[in-house]
Amino acid sequence: MQHYFWNDWYLSWGWFLWLGIMLLVFSSMGNWRYTYAAHRKYGQPVQKDAIDILNERYARGQITREQFKQIKSELAELG
pLDDT in tens, 9-49: 556 667 778 888 999 999 999 999 988 888 777 666 667 88
pLDDT of residue 49: 87
Which pLDDT value is given to residue 43?
Answer: 60
Residue type, 29: M
State the CB neighbour count (10 A cutoff) for residue 57. 14
- Higher per-residue pLDDT: 37 or 68: 68
CA distance linking residue 74 with residue 79, whole number of Å: 9
Please report the pLDDT score of residue 32 as a whole number: 92
Query: Is residue 53 predicted with pLDDT exceeding 60?
Result: yes
R_g (Cα) of the chain, nearest Å:
31
